[in-house]
Amino acid sequence: MKYRLTSAQPSDTAWLEELRRSVYQELFQATWGGWDEDRHSRHFNECSRAGNIFIIELDGVRIGMIQIFDEPNVVEVGEIQVQPSHQNRGVGTRVLKDVIADAHQRGKSVRLSVGLKNAKAFRLYERLGFRCVAETETHHHMVCEPVT
């Protein structure tokens, strides 16, 4: 599977906002009992302001995004979203495996957070080698450490 990551540009904002809306519908329902437009807008704006967003393209078509923060000792995946129509095809898994391999090659751990109600993503992260290191009211905080 050949995908491409391209840096998100200001012109991608509307597309990214719609992606987030489509990806998080079910999770919002499960976590808060319904869609919350203010929460959606607040989370989207926080993510956008933090930057480091890359569009995931497959065969020249934008199908998702990943937000990566490359810190001195750790790589943090702030967000990963794949359009529902492209989920369960291995794209997100492949992107994450590549992020993990690159970080581990450089001796860095990878960390991320996943919603407590997002069991499918949690299981994927566990299969990729992440373990839960903390939990809040809404999220599991996970880390995947390099093998020493």
Dump pLDDT digits (tens) for 10-46.
Answer: 999 999 999 998 888 777 676 667 777 787 788 888 8
Q: What are φ and ψ of residue 82, in 5° steps?
A: -125, 135
Q: What is the pLDDT of residue 97?
A: 97
Is residue 65 pLDDT above 80, yes or no? yes
All residues at 6 or more sequence positions from 31 whose CB lies less than 8 Å from its CB, including other chains = 115, 116, 117, 138
What average pLDDT does this structure show over 86-104?
95
Reported as type and span, the H/E element at residue 15 is helix 13-32
Is residue 121 pLDDT above 70, yes or no? yes
Decide which of 99 and 44 is more confident: 99
Distance CA 96, CA 80 (A): 9
98-110 exposure pattern, b = at least 16 Cβ within 10 A, e = fewer: ebbeebbeeebbb
Is residue 48 pLDDT above 80, yes or no? yes
Going by pLDDT thresholds of 50, 70 and 90, the confidence category of residue 62 is: very high
Distance CA 148, CA 140 (A): 24
What average pLDDT does this structure show over 128-141?
95
Q: What is the pLDDT of residue 30?
A: 67
Q: What is the pLDDT of residue 32?
A: 64
Structural domains in the chain? 3-144 (3.40.630.30)
Q: What is the pLDDT of residue 47?
A: 87
pTM for the model stands at 0.91
E strand map for 8-108: 53-58, 61-70, 74-82
